[in-house]
Structure 1
Amino acid sequence: MTLDTLNFQTNYLSLNNEFYDMTDPTPLDDPYLISFNTHVAKLIGLESISGDDPRFVDLLNGTFIPRGVRPFSMCYAGHQFGNYAPRLGDGRAINLGSINGWHLQTKGSGETLYSRTSDGRAAVPSSIREYLMSEAMHHLGIPTTRALGVIGSQTKIVRNNIEQAAIVMRLSPSWVRFGTFEYFYYFKEYDKLQTLTDYVIAESYPHLKDDEDRYFKFFSEVVERTAKLIAKWQSIGFCHGVMNTDNMSIAGLTIDYGPFSMLDDFDYGFVCNKTDKAGRYSYGEQPNVSYWNLTMLSKALTPIIDKERMQKKLDDYGNFLYPNAYIDVMRQKLGLDLKLDEDVELITDLVGALQDAYVDYTNFFRTLSHYDSDRMPLFDIAMNPVVIHNWLELYDKRLAKETRSQSDRQKEMLKTNPKYVLKNYMLQEAIDLAQKGDFSSIETLLHIAAHPFDELPEFEHFAHETPEEHKNICLSCSS
C-alpha cells in the first residue's frame, strides 16, 4: 500500500456527535521528517519507501488528506490527580480514522474544541520521547500504542522554554479511555454510556458481542487486562507518571506517554513527574492507583452493570488478579519454572533487598540471568552487596528445587530480562542532537528499542549503569 492507496475508516463517527468534534488540523511551519518507523508501517500495510515520499510529512502535518480521512477529536472526562474534571478530550490530538484495526492519530496538530487554554501543540522533546518509548515498550512485550513517525518544524511554542513544535503520528487499537465512560456517567447520559459500551465491546472485546452477560464480562476483562498490564510495568521498572483515568486505556494498553521513566537504581518510591508533589503516581503506587482508577470506572458503569458484581471483581483484583499476575512475571524474571507458594516471600524479600542495595534495576536482572552460583558479578554492581548476598541465600535454596538445567534457566531468563531499556538520559541525548538537526541517535535508539534482549556489541555502552549525574531524571508534562 502506498500513500495514494491509503483508505481510512471512521466508525467512531457513527456515534452521536457529542462523542467527538470534527476538527481540522493546523499545519506547522516548514515541517521536516525526524523519523519514520518501518516496523509500524507494516501494521497498516504501508510500504517502507513511503517514508521517503514528501507527502508523508504532509500526512502528519495535515496538508495531505488520504481517502476516507475525516479529522476529529474525541470527547472525554477524567480524574486528574484524584480530582474530577468534567470535560477534557483530545486537546492536541486529531484522529484520522483506522486502517487494519489501527486508529491513526496525530498529536500536536493544533487547537481543538477540547484544548481549553492550551495551544494544541506538542514540543520536539516530548514527541521524540513518545515515539521511541512506545516502540521500546512493544518490543519488551508490554501492550502499548505505537508510533509511525514524527516531524519537527520551525513553529515556536512556549513550554518551560521556547521550543520547536512537532507532531507524532501514533496508532492504537482503541483510543477510548476510562474517562470516556465517566463523561457520560456524570452528565447522566446513560443511553450514550450504553452505546459507548456496545461500541467498545464490538471494537476491543468482539467475542462478547452476543453474550447476554456481555456488560459485566466486559468490565471483568478490563480489570484482568489492567492487572496484567500493571504487573508488566512493575516487573520491567516502568513508571508512567500520569495515571489519571483519562490516561487509562479501556483496551488494557499503555497510552499517553508524558513524563515517564524506566527505573535507574531501584527505588520503590520513585516519582518521575515534577508535577506529582505528593507522589500519587510513584512507581510503587501504580498497582494501587490502577485499582482506584478501576473503581472510578465501575462507578461510571453502575447504570448498566450491577454494582455488587463489579465490586467483587474489584476485590478479586486486589486479592489475587494483580498479585498473581505480578508473581507470575517475576517468576519468569527469576527463572523459576515451578510455581511454589514460597515464591511470594522470595519475591517480596527481593523487592526489599533491591530497595536497600542501590543497584540498577535492569542490570541486576540481566546479571542474574547469567547466575551460576558465582555471586561476585552481582556484588560488583550493588553499592550494598550484603543485602544481595542475604537474598541469594534464599534464591539458591529455591533454585535447588527446580528440575530444569542451569543452562536452560539462563536461556529463558535472557529472553525475559532485557539488556537494553531506553532510559531518560539516553532519550535526552538523542533529543539534544535532534534539536541541532542530527537525527542519527534517534535511529540508533529505535534499533536498540527493537532488540532489547539481544547482544549488540557496538551499543554495549547503552547497557551500562546510568551515569550518576543522570539518575532519576524527573520531568514535567511538557518535557
Structure 2
Amino acid sequence: MSLPDRLAWPNRFASLGPEFFTELPAQGLPEPHWVAHSPVCAALLGWPAGWTAQPDALAVFAGNATWPGMRPLASAYSGHQFGVWAGQLGDGRALWLGEVDTPHGPQELQLKGGGLTPYSRRGDGRAVLRSSIREFLCSEAMAALGVPTTRALCITGSRLPVMRETVETAAIVTRVAPSFLRFGHFEHFAHHGRPDALRALAEWFIAHHAPDCADAPEPAVALLRKVALQTADLMAHWQAVGFCHGVMNTDNMSLLGLTLDYGPFGFMDGFDPMHVCNHSDDRGRYAYARQPSVAFWNLHALAQALLPLLDGEPEAAGERLLDAVEAYRERFAQQMLGRLRAKLGLEGEQAGDQALADDFLKLMAASRADFTQSWRRLSRALADPEPLRDLFIDRAALDAWLARWHARVTPGAEARMRAVNPAVVLRNHLAEGAIRAAQQGDFGEIERLRDVLARPFDEPLLPSDAALPPDWAATLEVSCSS
C-alpha cells in the first residue's frame, strides 16, 4: 500500500465550519521540481525515507494535486502589525492541506506560497525561492537547537516569475505544526463582535490543544495563562540563542508557543542589544532587547480578545485576565536566568548569578563581540581563554570578569556549556550562500547546510560554517519580503 493510502486525515480544524476559513484549491506551480526536503521532519510524521517518490508527491507539494483526505483551506484571522490594528488578515499565501495522524499526534500540513486566497489583500499569494530556503533551513535549525518551532518538510520550486524588489522565482515550503492558530485568530472574532464564534474557537482549541484548561473555573483565563507561560519559555529560548524574529505582530504569535512565520529573522553576529534584523522596522519596535516586552504586549492584546468570554463586570473580568498575563513576567525571568546559568556552566543557584550573566553581556555589547562565538569560546575558556579574549576590546575588564566566573564554576562545566552553546547557527551569510547556489540551479548546499544545522553543538567539518561572518555579510539586509 502506498503512503497516501495509509494516511488518515482527522482534519479537526475543518469541523469548526466555514466562518473560520475558506476552502479552495492551491494555485499550483508550473513545471515544479524538488528543491530540498527534511528527513528529520518526515520521520516526525512517520513517513519513510523515500516518501518523495510516492505517487503524485511532487504534484501535491507543488499545489497541483491532493492526496485522499486532504482538505485545502485558508483560515481567517486579524491582528496588530507593528503595534497598530491592521484589521482582517488571514492566510494570504498559506494553504492548510489538512491534519495527518502521526506517531507524535496529529500534525497540520500547510503550503506557504500556494497562490491567492480571499485573504491575500494586495499580495500575490506566492513565496519566492529565497524566502522559502530561509524558512526551511531556520525551521529545522531551530528544532535542532531545542527551540519550539513549526517545522519544514520540503521545498518545491518553479521557474514561475514573482516580483518582489526584483523578479525572482516561485517556490512553496511545506510547513508542519500541531496547530497554526495565532493570537490573531481570537482577535478576529472579538473585533468583529462575534462572541459565539470566539467561544467556539476557544472551546475547540482547549479540547484539542489545552485539555488541562477545560475544568478550570474560567477556561479562558486558564488558557491565557497557559499561552503566557509557553510564550515566556519561547522568548527565553530566543534570547538565549541570539535569535531575532523581526516581525512579532500578533498574527505571527503562536498559541502553542512555537516560532511561527520566518521572514526577516536573523541570528545575532556582533552583539548589540538594540539590533534590528528587519530592514523594514525603521523604528526598531522588534529589536532583540525588546522582544520579551513585545511578547508581553501581544499577550495583552490576546487578553483583550478573550474578554467577551468571561462573565461578570468587564472591569473585574479584565483584572482576572491581566493576572493571567502577569504570569509571563515571573516565568520569563526564571527561564532566562536558568538558560544563562546553563550557558555559563553554573550548577545550582547563587545570588550573584544574574549579575555575573548581565556583566558578561555588557562586556559583549561594549565590544560588539560575536554572540554565538563569545558563548562557544567561553565554553573552552577554563583551559584556554585566549580565543575568547580575541573577541573583546577591553581585555582587562574581561579578565576581571573571568576571575569571578572561575570562582563560581564547578568541574565539568566545559562539557555542559558545549551542550547548550552552539557552534553553528543559521547566520545570514550561510543562508545567503545556499540561496545564491540554488538560484543557479545547485541545491546541494541547502541539504549540506541542513545537515550541519541538525548538529549545532558539534564542531562542523568545515570551519567556515562556525567562523565569524565575512566582511561582505555586513551588507546583507532582510525585510518583510524575506
TM-score (structure 1 length as normaliser): 0.95
* Cα distance between partner residues in 2 of 1:212 and 1:270: 43
Tell me which residue corresponds to 1:154: 159
- Aligned: 1:416 with 2:420: yes
User: Which deviates more, 364-373 or 252-261?
Assistant: 364-373
- Aligned: 1:310 with 2:311: no
SS at match of 1:35: strand
SS at match of 1:34: strand
Tell me which residue corresponds to 2:116: 111
How far 1:56 sits from its partner (Å)?
1.9
User: What CA deviation, in whole Å up to 9, does each residue of 1:57-109 have, x standing for no partner?
Assistant: 11112223111111100100000001111200000000011113110000000
Is the 8 Å Cα contact of residues 28 and 155 (structure 1) preserved in structure 2?
yes
- Aligned: 1:453 with 2:460: no
Match of 2:359 among 349, 357, 369: 349
How far 1:173 sits from its partner (Å)?
0.8
How far 1:152 sits from its partner (Å)?
0.8
Tell me which residue corresponds to 1:288: 293
- Aligned: 1:179 with 2:184: yes
* Cα distance between partner residues in 2 of 1:398 and 1:310: 41
* Cα distance between partner residues in 1 of 2:447 and 2:371: 25
How far 1:432 sits from its partner (Å)?
0.4
User: Counterparts of 1:359-438 in structure 2 under 5 Å?
Assistant: 359-372=369-382, 374-399=384-409, 404-405=410-411, 408-438=412-442
* Cα distance between partner residues in 2 of 1:331 and 1:107: 38
How far 1:192 sits from its partner (Å)?
1.1
Tell me which residue corresponds to 1:475: 478
Is the 8 Å Cα contact of residues 145 and 255 (structure 1) preserved in structure 2?
yes
* Cα distance between partner residues in 1 of 2:385 and 2:265: 32
Match of 1:231 among 236, 239, 261: 236
Match of 1:332 among 339, 342, 351: 342
SS at match of 2:172: strand
Q: Which amino acid aligns with 2:112?
A: K
Is the 8 Å Cα contact of residues 8 and 99 (structure 1) preserved in structure 2?
yes
User: Which deviates more, 414-423 or 346-355?
Assistant: 346-355
Tell me which residue corresponds to 1:191: 196
How far 1:384 sits from its partner (Å)?
4.1
Inter-CA distance 384–443: structure 2 relative to 1 (3 Å threshold): farther
* Cα distance between partner residues in 2 of 1:23 and 1:476: 29
Q: Which amino acid aligns with 1:464?
A: A
* Cα distance between partner residues in 1 of 2:15 and 2:417: 47
* Cα distance between partner residues in 1 of 2:471 and 2:146: 28
User: Which deviates more, 58-67 or 222-231?
Assistant: 58-67
How far 1:208 sits from its partner (Å)?
2.6
* Cα distance between partner residues in 1 of 2:476 and 2:237: 22
- Amino-acid identity (%): 39
| Structure 1 vs Structure 2 CA RMSD | 1.5
Structure 1: 5+ residue runs without aligned partners?
none
- Aligned: 1:464 with 2:474: no
How far 1:383 sits from its partner (Å)?
4.0
Tell me which residue corresponds to 1:27: 28
TM-score (structure 2 length as normaliser): 0.95
Inter-CA distance 383–33: structure 2 relative to 1 (3 Å threshold): farther
Q: Which amino acid aligns with 2:325?
A: L
SS at match of 1:103: strand
- Aligned: 1:124 with 2:119: no
- Aligned: 1:279 with 2:289: no
Is the 8 Å Cα contact of residues 197 and 215 (structure 1) preserved in structure 2?
yes
How far 1:394 sits from its partner (Å)?
2.6
* Cα distance between partner residues in 2 of 1:46 and 1:376: 47
* Cα distance between partner residues in 2 of 1:444 and 1:438: 11
SS at match of 1:3: helix
SS at match of 1:219: helix
* Cα distance between partner residues in 2 of 1:148 and 1:204: 22
